[in-house]
Amino acid sequence: MEDTTPFHQAIISWLRNYFQEPQKSTVLELEIDYLNTSSTKMLIDILFELNKFYIFGNEVTVVWRYYQQDEDMEDLGHELEEMVDVPFQFGVLV
């Protein structure tokens, strides 16, 4: 199994640097077919970072797109939405 920790740490580091001089509005757009356990954990870490940024009054939105037949990904999006204050928008892919 490949160690993805350096990749994940680089994303968090990039986000923290971005938050020093962000755009007026930040949108994280996601279209995910599959997430393993470690990738789900990393996505949660990213959402927690975005949540900190949002709580301090910054405009942040997560756009969660999933395929119409993929109820698991739809459910995961709603579960993640419940974990943070950042608003989610859901879109169905066909």
> Where are the domains positioned within the chain?
5-17+24-93
Strands, sheet with 59-67, edge to edge from the N-terminal-most edge strand: 25-31, 59-67, 88-93
Kindly report, residue by residue over 23-74, the tens digit of the pLDDT: 999 999 999 999 999 899 999 999 999 999 999 999 999 999 999 999 999 9
Q: Which amino acid is at 54?
A: Y
Report the alpha-carbon distance of residue 56 to residue 62 in Å, rounded. Answer: 16
**Global confidence as pTM:** 0.91
Task: Count CA atoms closer than 13 A to 54's CA, side-chain side.
Answer: 17
Q: What is the predicted pLDDT for the residue at 1?
A: 54
> What's residue 42's pLDDT?
93
Specify the pLDDT at position 3.
Answer: 77
Place of tokens 């996505």: 43
- Contact present, 26 and 53 (Cβ < 8 Å): yes
Distance CA 80, CA 71 (A): 14
